Chains A and B, each alone.
Chain A
Amino acid sequence: MAYSEKVVDHYENPRNVGSFDKNDAAVGTGLVGAPACGDVMKLQIKVSADGIIEDAKFKTFGCGSAIASSSLVTEWVKGKSIDEASTIKNTDIAKHLALPPVKIHCSVLAEDAIKAAIDDYKRKHGA
């Protein structure tokens, strides 16, 4: 199976790999997937006082498409408000990366990771 150029680019030059302190009040952490399924994504967002995602980091256990999906969404969420970020759809991720049908679940997981990170941030702020 050949990967699209965009998947290869994100795999070879992943954007925003790393971690924030998950106890920081400005940080929301999403951890989705399961090791037994072969995919785990950790996505973290750092949110400014006015609700804008200033920075994002990820770490992913998974195939190239899973790594590319999570790398891509860290780029997409930056500069967005948390409400805007929560509208990112897995279909947009899959389309951008030209994922084949068997890899659609990677994009679903990336969307779930954004939502989980936002939920975590909101929970910290009593929303």
Chain B
Amino acid sequence: MSTQTTQDRLANAPTKPVYLDYQATTPMDPRVLDAMMPYFIEKFGNPHSRNHHYGWEAEEAVETARKQVADLIGADEREIVFTSGATESNNLAIAGVAHFYKDQKNHIVTVVTEHKCVLDTCRHLEQEGFTVTYLPVKTDGLVDLAALEAAITDKTVLVSIMAANNEIGVIQPLAEIGALCRKKGAFFHTDCAQAFGKIPLDVEAMKIDLMSISGHKIYGPKGIGALFVRRKPRVRLQAMIHGGGQERGMRSGTLPTPLCVGLGKAAEIARQEMASENARLTTLRDRFLKTVHGKLPEVFLNGDFSNRLPGNLNLSFAYVEGEGLMMGIKDLCVSSGSACTSASLEPSYVLRALGVEEELAHTSLRIGFGRFTTEAEVDYAADRIVEAVSKLRSMSPLWEMAQEGIDIKSIQWAAH
């Protein structure tokens, strides 16, 4: 592709929109679908039917999948509970632990940049009388370990800190956090929806007690996830879904065999291919950044660069509003931290927590590369973004002022 000019690349636009939103979801890997297919019609049994052939073959498939998930994080298969996804896993981990130990402890520590399903679960627990500490993050998006240590008290039952952030891809120091929690006697839960299958995770080395896992972020099916629940030392939870006592009583309901198989297969592929895939994604990301930084001034990376998921970029294109920009790159599927993409009219709370100024938060795009992203797509996306940003800057009053040397902060803007 390097012999092609920008004009050539823009002229040879792909026929389908280019998908660069791999932190939102991923397409399934065809190998995952192949593994799942027999379990819809042919091997349809209920894995909990203990006394006939169909039940046994479904049970065997589910248990193989459980082992594949466990192997990716250094866990025992008996520590894996299948759920409907990471949102359920986060709810079960946080509310389940809080409720089980409520007579001894009533305090939870989490972080302001967590996913909404963690924050909202914590809000609900506050209404029930629990106390929650929401730790800030540093400007690079990372947790301050000293602040974390200070926040953990003898009443702290659980510390919930995500591994990799969904917006900015920043990876928290899990091993240090785990060691701190173990020392202080609090359980450590980590939302690994974005990290599982993307970066090496080891529940022993990182002293993780509970880990939330998602299927559809790792080229597996939607509607399946898992929760790792440590056995030694044992972590107890109060179930949220009651019924037949499946999943060791922690999550009743018939397991969806094909989905479990899909999650297992996706985990197995991730384990085998993580190193080579991450090297490839890093190359693509660097190639994209080189083009954009080479052609556009005043583009800022949000979140730490070195402690980051290889496929994630979150960039602020100063003086160009994010939703307006997305409209100009309709054939690129990305997401924006701009207010205008949500109904709330507030820009991303994650970027605000990093101290990104509101005017820059409004100009941000999250660009996610993944397993099926090609070099040609990356080149095309970079050129399209450069083109759209240049056009929108030429019609931006803020860009005009900046070029005239006017400090935008010196103006008395009327809030509206």
Interface positions of A (Cβ within 8 A of B):
3, 8, 11, 14, 17, 19, 31-42, 58-64, 66-67, 102, 105, 108-109, 112
Chain B's closest residue to A62 (CB) is B321
Contacts of B338 on A, CB cut-off 8 Å?
38, 63
Q: State whether B416 touches A63 (Cβ < 8 A).
A: no
Contact B397 A61 (CB under 8 A): yes
Is A63's CB under 8 angstroms from B359's CB? no
Q: Is A34 a contact of B327 with CB atoms below 8 Å?
A: no
* Shortest Cβ gap from A126 to chain B (Å): 24
Q: Tell me which residues across on chain A come within 8 A of B396, comparing CB atoms.
A: 59-61
CB pair A38–B339 under 8 Å, yes or no, is: yes
10 interchain residue pairs of minimum CB distance: A34-B413, A35-B359, A42-B397, A36-B358, A63-B323, A38-B362, A59-B397, A64-B327, A63-B340, A61-B396
Query: Could you say which residues of chain B place their CB within 8 Å of the CB of A3?
Result: 327
B324 interface contact, C-beta 8 A: yes
**Which residues on the A side are within 8 Å of B397 (C-beta)?**
31, 40-42, 59-61
Q: Which of A8, A35, A38 contacts B408 (CB 8 A)?
A: A35
CB within 8 A of A66: which of B324, B328, B357, B394? B324
Min distance, Cβ A65 to any Cβ of chain B, angstroms: 8
For B413, list chain A residues within 8 Å (CB).
33-37, 40
Closest A-chain residue to B338, C-beta based? A38
Contacts beyond the supplied A3-B327, A112-B416: 5 A-B pairs with Cβ under 8 Å:
A34-B416, A37-B339, A37-B362, A61-B319, A63-B321
Task: Name A18's closest neighbour in chain B (CB-CB).
Answer: B395
Residue pairs across A and B with CB atoms within 8 Å: the count is 96
In the bound assembly, the distance between CA atoms of A59 and B398 in angstroms comes to: 9
Q: Does B11 contact A (CB under 8 A)?
A: no
- Check if A17 sits within 8 Å of B327, measured CB to CB: no
Contact residues of A: prevailing secondary structure? mixed
Q: Smallest Cβ distance from B92 to chain A, in angstroms?
A: 33
Q: Complex Cα distance A14/B328, Å?
A: 12
Q: Bits for B334-345, please: 1 = Cβ < 8 Å to A, else 0.
A: 000011100101
Task: Say which residue of B321, B343, B414 sits within 8 Å of A38 (CB atoms).
Answer: B321
Chain B positions within 8 Å of A108 at CB level: 416
Which of B340, B357, B399, B416 has the most chain A CB within a 10 Å cutoff? B340
Q: Which of A32, A40, A41, A58 has the most CB of B within 10 A?
A: A40
Q: Does B320 sit at the interface, judged by CB under 8 A?
A: yes
| Residues in B362-416 with C-beta less than 8 Å from chain A | 362, 394-400, 408, 411, 413-416
Q: Does B347 contact A (CB under 8 A)?
A: yes
Residue contact A67 to B395, C-beta cutoff 8 Å:
yes
Task: Tell me if B415 and A37 are in contact (CB < 8 A).
Answer: yes
The distance in angstroms between the C-alpha atoms of A35 and B362, with both chains bound, is: 8
Nearest-neighbor residue (CB-CB) of A116 within chain B:
B414
**Beyond A19-B400, A105-B416, is A36–B323 a contact (Cβ under 8 Å)?**
no
- Chain A residue at minimum C-beta to C-beta distance from B362: A38
Query: Which of these, A14, A41, A60, A64, contacts B323 with CB under 8 Å?
Result: A64
Contact residue among A17, A31, A34, A66 (Cβ-Cβ distance under 8 Å from B415): A34
**Residues in chain A near residue B358, CB distance under 8 A:** 35-38
In this complex, what residue of A is CB-closest to B400?
A59
Contact A37 B416 (CB under 8 A): yes
B395 touches A11 (CB 8 A): no
A19–B399 Cα gap in the complex (Å)? 12
Contact string against A for B residues 342-354, beta-carbon threshold 8 Å, 1 for contact and 0 otherwise: 0101010000000
A8 to B347 CA separation, bound complex (whole angstroms): 23
Name the residue on B nearest A43 (C-beta): B397
- Can you name the residue of chain B whose Cβ is closest to the Cβ of A11? B327
Chain A contacts for B345, CB-based, 8 A: 37-38, 102, 105
Q: How far is the CA of A99 from the CA of B319 in the complex (A)?
A: 24
